[in-house]
Amino acid sequence: GKTYKIASIPGDGIGKEVIPVGQRAAEAAAAKHGFSLTWTEFDWSCERYVETGQMMPDDGIAQVKEHDAIYLGAVGWPTVEDHVSLWGLLIPLRRELDLYANVRPVRLLKGVQSPLANRKPEEIDFIVVRENVEGEYSEIGGRLYRGTENEVAVQEAMFTRRGTDRIMDYAFKVAKQRKRKHVTSATKSNGIVHTMPFWDERFAAAGKRHPEIETSQYHIDILTAHFVQHPDWFDVVVGSNLFGDILSDLGPAVAGSIGIAPAANINPEGVFPSMFEPVHGSAPDIAGKGIANPVAAVWTAAIMLEHLGETEAAKTLEAAIEATLQAPETKTADLGGTANTEQSATAIIEAI
Amino acid sequence: GKTYKIASIPGDGIGKEVIPVGQRAAEAAAAKHGFSLTWTEFDWSCERYVETGQMMPDDGIAQVKEHDAIYLGAVGWPTVEDHVSLWGLLIPLRRELDLYANVRPVRLLKGVQSPLANRKPEEIDFIVVRENVEGEYSEIGGRLYRGTENEVAVQEAMFTRRGTDRIMDYAFKVAKQRKRKHVTSATKSNGIVHTMPFWDERFAAAGKRHPEIETSQYHIDILTAHFVQHPDWFDVVVGSNLFGDILSDLGPAVAGSIGIAPAANINPEGVFPSMFEPVHGSAPDIAGKGIANPVAAVWTAAIMLEHLGETEAAKTLEAAIEATLQAPETKTADLGGTANTEQSATAIIEAI
Ligand SMILES: CC(C)[C@H](C(=O)O)[C@@H](O)C(=O)O
Ligand SMILES: CC(C)[C@H](C(=O)O)[C@@H](O)C(=O)O
């Protein structure tokens, strides 16, 4: 079988507790399905920043480029300002590796409680595809008359045709692999925001390039309402950097799974390795106690294996997760269970 | 008793069906509480645009300025582009009258079904205060290389200290009148958006000016998740023009009430009349059938009377609404009832 080289960056806090579990689970699935994984571990983290003044070394990006995928835990710790840890690690990875598609599956798993009344698992099953490198997150902006009565702060949102078209195409490509073959666009073109009529035009043009896919679009305000009232309407949802950021937290919340949700930062052309990270953060409040939920890390490993082409192994991991969610002894306290990290991990590995 | 002069603009579609109900209800409450209302009706609408080429006359703003408040139905109709109807009526009203605070109460009323599981009315009771004239809705932006491969669209978000400070102060003032005395700020200062660290600084400064109010803040992505998972955490939520727009649709959705929610566009200094409008639109699909739900219009009339200082009359209207929500015969089909507009209206008036 094949061998895949993975760059593993446990990062901070519970990242260091759950990434090893994800690695064990991925190893077990690899053994079962006849391929192998080799891991290079990087200590890039806030701890490293405090010791060396850098989140990662100068040639960090070059080092991870040598791999087939990047498996990241969580970045951020109270000793280092968010701004520093993000710009020192997460954002350069996303931008310099051109990971322009941020992809988050939203699924109500059996054994997880949705905050919505009367929703069955088959009613919440969609994917948010977020543009991950431009739009509202341009680096352009700043202040005038800082610190005075006349202070003004500005931020430029910038959408390019290339950047918009390629995220649209990626979303349609994802939809093609799914049963319902539907893409919903998140927009806000009814008011003042100049970039959104442009977004709509590019969405319409993409729809013409992919005529076998159905489309719909909603303004972001009412779309968040529909997520809560009609989660069953959605299959693939494509949004700008900011709208996608919002929808990919709201979606997992609706599915009751913000603590177990996985995310992928994809370079669809495969020029650079893609990066896989749980949605949850480093969780300083519970870090070091051995009680963190490893499900997000394992689910993240699953979508990494799927991206590498090992679809069966991914299915094995997802089935193992679902199996352990059925009983309190095999899931952690945040999901109403009684297991600690190691007990949950053991149960997942056994289920594989 | 006092007499209040109200400018009434039914607008389009169901606006023309529900605004008369709101007026009848407001009249009944006024009679009961010893004050009176005089109405000037304006036919400003898409229909007027199609006939005359203008949503409102050139001196429209000057005409409404002569009133104590503006009572607006709904703006928008398929025969006129959204962009035209908004810029011809809604946006000039908001901007030229400096209605810089958009205020939407979010409340789970008894008799309304929330999409959330197991939520009691006292657990969903907050107010979204949205900055209504600047921020992400600046008029600055456009395109370069339109229609070509190299096309770029930009939008400038612009936050001024004056604009930010005054919406913060308004939110804190609203909180002072409430029991819990808590303001939550919607932000996104952990990443790249340059305007949001500025927003946070001004929120902190406002907190110091109002030390009797408790504060908290969340990034907009996780805040939308908290609206779904912990609506009971919130009392007053202050957001920028875009974040407030999103939260003030999501909030009513969580409370099951997007079709019955009211909104106020306030000029807190009272230099210009404030404007009151239901959150719902003109609803072309049901317009003209006599089945529109008049509750949003009546609730909107209630917050208008409250703004005018007639707090007892406002309470009478709100109690009348709640009374009619308890039985299917007195509420409309969208709330699981059997009444048409007139039956629902009659029930509300009787309850007053
Ligand atoms: C119609 C649109 C411009 C408007 C807005 O975004 O302000 C609407 O969504 C609202 O909330 O009143
Ligand atoms: C930490 C922050 C910059 C980031 C984002 O907004 O992209 C986070 O919310 C995410 O979704 O990964």
Q: Answer yes or no: do B248 and B286 share one domain.
A: no
Counting one residue from chain A and one from chain B, the pairs whose CB atoms sit within 8 A come to 172
Chain A residues with beta carbon closer than 8 angstroms to that of B136: 193
Q: How far is CA A280 from CA A85, A252, B230, B246, in A?
A: 16, 11, 17, 23
Domain that holds residue B158: 116-125+134-255
**Predicted confidence band of residue A83 (pLDDT cuts 50, 70, 90):** confident
Determine the Cα–Cα distance for residues A130 and A252; give it in Å rounded to an integer.
14
Residue nearest to atom 3 of ligand 1 (CA): A191
**pLDDT tens digit sequence for B242-255:** 999 999 999 999 99
- Which of helix, strand or coil describes residue B279? coil
**pLDDT tens digit sequence for B254-300:** 999 889 999 999 999 999 999 999 999 999 999 999 999 999 999 99
Asked which of A188, A221, A255 is the last residue of a domain, the reply is: A255
**Pocket of ligand 2, candidates A46, A75, A100, A245: which has the most ligand atoms within 8 Å of its Cβ, to mutate?**
A245
Q: Which of B149, B249, B260, B282 to mutate to test the interface with A (most CBs of A within 10 A)?
A: B249
B51 and B57 in contact (C-beta within 8 Å)? Answer: no
Gap from CA of B309 to ligand 1 centroid (Å) = 27
Q: Which residue of B has its CA nearest to A221?
A: B246
A132 and A101 in contact (C-beta within 8 Å)? Answer: yes
Asked which of A198, A223, A255 is the last residue of a domain, the reply is: A255
**Predicted confidence band of residue A263 (pLDDT cuts 50, 70, 90):** very high
Q: Is B160 left (phi over 0), alpha (psi -120 to 50) or beta?
A: beta
Instruction: For residue A295, give both structure tokens.
Output: 């499900």
Q: Answer yes or no: do B99 and B202 share one domain.
A: no
Closest ligand by atom to A190 CA: 1
**pTM across the whole model:** 0.96
Q: Answer yes or no: do A149 and A244 share one domain.
A: yes
The minimal CB distance from A158 to the residues B152, B159, B242 is found for: B152
Chain B residues with beta carbon closer than 8 angstroms to that of A148: 161
Return residues 258-287 of B near A (CB < 8 Å).
258
Residue in B323, B346, B326 with CA at minimum distance from that of residue B335: B326
Q: Answer yes or no: do B167 and B238 share one domain.
A: yes
B9 and B71 in contact (C-beta within 8 Å)? Answer: yes
Stated as kind and residue range, the H or E segment containing A306 is: helix A295-307
A178 and A125 in contact (C-beta within 8 Å)? Answer: no
How much is the pLDDT for B341? 97
Chain A residues with beta carbon closer than 8 angstroms to that of B157: 141, 154-157
Residue pointed to by tokens 């703006």: B75
Determine the Cα–Cα distance for residues B44 and B72; give it in Å rounded to an integer.
10
Average pLDDT over residues A281-294: 96
Res. B191: pLDDT tops 90: no
Domain count for chain B: 2
Strand partners, B257: none
How much is the pLDDT for B1? 85
Kindly report the CATH number assigned to the domain that includes residue B182. 3.40.718.10
Average pLDDT over residues B43-68: 97
3-state SS, A12-69, equals CCCHHHHHHHHHHHHHHHHHHHCCEEEEEECCCCHHHHHHHCCCCCCCHHHHHHCCCE
Asked which of A187, A221, A255 is the last residue of a domain, the reply is: A255
B278 and B262 in contact (C-beta within 8 Å)? Answer: yes
Residue nearest to atom 11 of ligand 1 (CA): B245
Atom of ligand 2 nearest to the CA of A248: 11
Q: Answer yes or no: do A147 and A219 share one domain.
A: yes
Residue B167 sits at φ, ψ, to 5 deg, of -75, -35
Q: Answer yes or no: do A119 and A249 share one domain.
A: yes
Q: Answer yes or no: do B237 and B272 share one domain.
A: no
Chain A residues with beta carbon closer than 8 angstroms to that of B220: 245-246
Q: Answer yes or no: do A6 and A126 share one domain.
A: no
Residue pointed to by tokens 């960090």: A60
